[in-house]
Structure 1
């Protein structure tokens, strides 16, 4: 479904700003600048769609992957070797699906509700892995997830649910290693659940110990705090005892905010002491506070749940934020601007409530999300995050297709968080090409970073224009490569005049100057005899026993999929060399042929 920006940009009164002159003036400068940008694109393209080639090279594209009650993963239980294999294969399919749409950051729920998905010396195993709380799954899911994300050039951030623990009815099943048994002083009852009490000074140290354990033992790219706040009905939260003991006659709301800030500060410092490059973030409530013209209706971070999230950015104890902006209309746009105006130079990546697209939820139209996507990108809010994976995977209202075909057409590097180190690594050396046992390979010498040593990754660029423009996302063919070589597709090598460039990127996101290779292979593969006939609009293919076919460009990216037919439409494709392949269940695919348009 095409995005029609005019419904938002040309007629801002559709957001109900027209009835409020001051609010309209407040938004005017942002809307006008966005309007100029959009109409320039539309005039150049002659279409009512943004130019997908404007896709930024740096943009955090994140998804929350929920393990609570196995909502997203795992559906298979690891109670046998076959179960372990099924659970791991399931995660790999999820990551392949995210890679298909150029997602670059996975927020994996690692601490669930007072329990974890890795072998911890502090808390018990969560039951999502085996069906039984406290039972080990027979492997390390967090280590496995980190490796599989890095294989695909993705970042993995360990998502920790901070303050809630578990239902009172489930407390006995949590066993003797639960926080209720090991640190009962830190726990309070609230409603039907146990919570950590942020008013107890030791709560910050306890949460920091979990962060320290993960940062020290796993090659995670980030640690992400969720529910680092008081609960929704905070007025009834049972912290009167800790307030009497530690409040020192301070205003209770201020005291609570100070408690949350102490937790965030302590956790942040614990991570940075272990590995300074690990990104530390949180997901505050999506409205920070009431605005002068737009109230939050008693649901905001600052007053309702005592999160001074903008203060955390100001103090420098968060590298980035993922505010949960699960709203639309006037509940979204003014508050997005407020986050941008108070980001203190650090990435703020809005979390979008894509679950509302589901008919079982609020049945939003796709345009509600696409408008928010374009608006937040225009504000340079450094990316987007989607809650949650299942709703993206299910392609509600065509969102997955929209992201793949329009909004995320090319890979992107996650936003840099380099406040602690802005020095790029050395340029890779000795970039060269070779043909090895019928395989074409790019190779280079390793780079060295000032803080991370050889713990760097590499980005590979290619273009038929020399020198390769490394500022353009369209030239990225591989991101965050963790080795010093890259196999190159045979059909790609058949193109004329391909130039390559390789850069090193450190764990803070600093990118080196490129090593360049100005020309392609002299012994290009001969693809003659394997080309399929077409008339530039439709392509004839041989009969296949497959439900779908995929068109793959010379960079190895799937650019189009369709149900199998003897004639495939290709009129929408740009000029270039393409491969066409079958596409079956579990990602099975086989080569059919090539065509040049």
Structure 2
């Protein structure tokens, strides 16, 4: 069955682009806490919230971003209807109150991402309960009210105590509620585990350690094990229910400094996630508990304490001992033109970082924090993404350890006019399992005499959403033949073999031997018979055929060399069922197609 919801039209634009990989995760974080990115303020009507999110997606899509990581749970609240936690204050202005008029923001966001072929990762803070206990207006159903015995306090901060088994089970239950009810692409945790150190502030988990130490004699090891247990429990739970849902974490960018952990640590001297917030992120990815890790390397290249050009190779090396998992680098877009250090006051910092990432064997993408910063285009950052770094589309990296079975190839039909080529293809029949269904299509274009090789990133012309089986290419050079193929991708981005190749060129008067209105049939629509007319400006090898919309040839009307001048042929439909067909004229290997409608 054909599914066509909108036409993608690619206009001619000339860019000086960097070499780009065929597969790359190009993400952006969308923060909801404090209304950082979305919605822009509390209490907006639902339609304004929705329009703001649509605008964000459109701008990200135009910039070449193919994934969003959206914060749906920031302080044990929910930007979706939940029986476990109250509505987030950032939506209505009051915790526990739904947006008005009522809608489900999470479902809305997922649907809008699907329309654009953008992956949706649900970002959840596992432990943070409230940032300021003195000012938060807490709903009676909030966990701070219902389970005060679960809390760990540091100043005004309250987090769920990672040392409690009940907390691990509760957090896992909240995560799995979302996994079960929504068609998300991934679950994402950020860097908040045990509290970050604060001058003059401490927290006490003495009683928890006394009861739940599990025989671990060192408190620091026990705290790390508490986090490990949650990460593994969430990972195992996701795999058991929906193994195609990805699980990733974006930890603090430094695991350990080499001065602390010889020889495993990085050549840095900053805060250490392993020692300060008890996050053994290196272990999580090397154990295969995560599908991807996205360390927040929020420093500039050359920074003495934490050099980007030192940390990214260190993480790249970590992945050599990881079982095929993915590494995406978190980058500080928020610092561009917004930092006292001169390195962030230059337009080249993030572009240079992205280029540096691409030199690493195991780095497969990046995530930019935050969305507001990217969209505001500081020092032309978004322009650099759109026009150079992400100017060409990219497929998502495949996660073959989850599934490696590719879908069937589509069948392609291409027609051309004086200004564009129109591609149509079918949606291949697949299995009914969630990992089998087609999620996207990839369109490739090859110049004259080039072999069809879909491994070539430069040949990838467009990636269309799952319901789009039509693409219009208006970037062809006149007089030059091109060959197109289309592939299908499933939800884990396994790619089919290429479709049948189709070669076309724009129709040009004298150069192609055809007039601008070279091929017509009258009457059209018709019943019974129609007269087909065409004019050759010079002699040529002519082939005239009738095809159905899948490209299958139904009749060959002419196949001979013909002299210059007007030509006509009567076509009788005979037993041809009513419907739309294609009349295709090939002259000297240049093709021109017109629609032909047969009536009952």
State the TM bucket, normalised to the shorter chain: 0.7 to 0.9
Structure 2 partner of 1:243:
209
Match of residue 68, structure 2, among 106, 119, 141: 106
Distance 2:461 2:142 in 1: 46
Q: 1:282 and 2:254 equivalent? A: no
Q: Which digits, 9 at most, give the CA deviation of each residue in 1:467-521, with x for residues without a partner?
A: 5432233333332521261242567698753432222222222212111231348
Structure 1 partner of 2:326:
347
Question: Alpha carbons of 1:460 and 1:294: their partners in 2 closer, same or farther (altered >3 Å)?
Answer: closer
Distance 2:431 2:315 in 1: 33
Distance 1:100 1:88 in 2: 18
**Cα RMSD between the aligned structures?**
3.0
Structure 1 partner of 2:335:
356
Match of residue 278, structure 2, among 306, 328, 336: 306
Deviation for aligned residue 1:243: 0.7
> What's the TM-score once normalised by structure 1's chain length?
0.73
Distance 2:387 2:407 in 1: 33
Greater mean alpha carbon deviation, residues 200-209 or residues 508-517: 508-517
Maintained 8 Å contact 1:294/1:334: yes
Deviation for aligned residue 1:441: 5.2
Q: Which digits, 9 at most, give the CA deviation of each residue in 1:100-133, with x for residues without a partner?
A: 1101110101111111111112111111112221
Maintained 8 Å contact 1:499/1:518: yes
Maintained 8 Å contact 2:274/2:280: yes
Distance 1:207 1:231 in 2: 17
Structure 1 partner of 2:104:
140
Structure 1 partner of 2:443:
461
Distance 2:86 2:455 in 1: 46
Q: 1:57 and 2:22 equivalent? A: yes
Question: Alpha carbons of 1:520 and 1:238: their partners in 2 closer, same or farther (altered >3 Å)?
Answer: farther
Structure 2 partner of 1:270:
237
SS where residue 474 of structure 1 aligns? helix
Distance 1:491 1:97 in 2: 22
Match of residue 71, structure 1, among 28, 31, 36: 36
Distance 2:220 2:98 in 1: 41
Structure 2 partner of 1:203:
167
Question: Alpha carbons of 1:238 and 1:188: their partners in 2 closer, same or farther (altered >3 Å)?
Answer: same
Match of residue 463, structure 2, among 457, 479, 497: 479
Match of residue 128, structure 1, among 85, 90, 100: 90
Q: 1:443 and 2:443 equivalent? A: no
Structure 2 partner of 1:93:
55
SS where residue 236 of structure 2 aligns? helix
Structure 1 partner of 2:552:
none
Match of residue 226, structure 1, among 190, 197, 215: 190
Q: 1:497 and 2:481 equivalent? A: yes
Structure 2 partner of 1:571:
none
Deviation for aligned residue 1:267: 1.1
Distance 1:314 1:223 in 2: 18
Deviation for aligned residue 1:418: 2.4
Question: Alpha carbons of 1:389 and 1:528: their partners in 2 closer, same or farther (altered >3 Å)?
Answer: farther
Structure 2 partner of 1:325:
297
Structure 2: which 5+ runs fail to align? 1-14, 518-600
Structure 2 partner of 1:378:
359
Structure 1 partner of 2:564:
none
Structure 2 partner of 1:335:
311
Q: 1:154 and 2:118 equivalent? A: yes
Maintained 8 Å contact 1:59/1:383: yes
Question: Alpha carbons of 1:253 and 1:479: their partners in 2 closer, same or farther (altered >3 Å)?
Answer: same
Deviation for aligned residue 1:347: 1.3
> What's the TM-score once normalised by structure 2's chain length?
0.73
Match of residue 410, structure 1, among 389, 392, 400: 392
Distance 2:17 2:224 in 1: 42
SS where residue 75 of structure 2 aligns? coil
Maintained 8 Å contact 2:297/2:329: yes
Match of residue 167, structure 1, among 120, 131, 134: 131
Structure 2 partner of 1:389:
371
Distance 2:389 2:370 in 1: 18
Q: Which digits, 9 at most, give the CA deviation of each residue in 1:520-554, with x for residues without a partner?
A: 4898999989xxxxxxxxxxxxxxxxxxxxxxxxx
Distance 2:175 2:165 in 1: 17
Match of residue 366, structure 1, among 318, 343, 347: 347
Structure 1: which 5+ runs fail to align? 1-49, 530-597
Distance 1:500 1:517 in 2: 6
Distance 1:101 1:237 in 2: 43
SS where residue 503 of structure 2 aligns? coil
Distance 1:77 1:441 in 2: 45
Deviation for aligned residue 1:168: 4.7
Distance 1:143 1:75 in 2: 19
Maintained 8 Å contact 1:493/1:524: no
Maintained 8 Å contact 1:77/1:87: no
Greater mean alpha carbon deviation, residues 480-489 or residues 257-266: 480-489
Maintained 8 Å contact 1:108/1:157: yes
Q: 1:84 and 2:46 equivalent? A: yes
Question: Alpha carbons of 1:110 and 1:488: their partners in 2 closer, same or farther (altered >3 Å)?
Answer: same
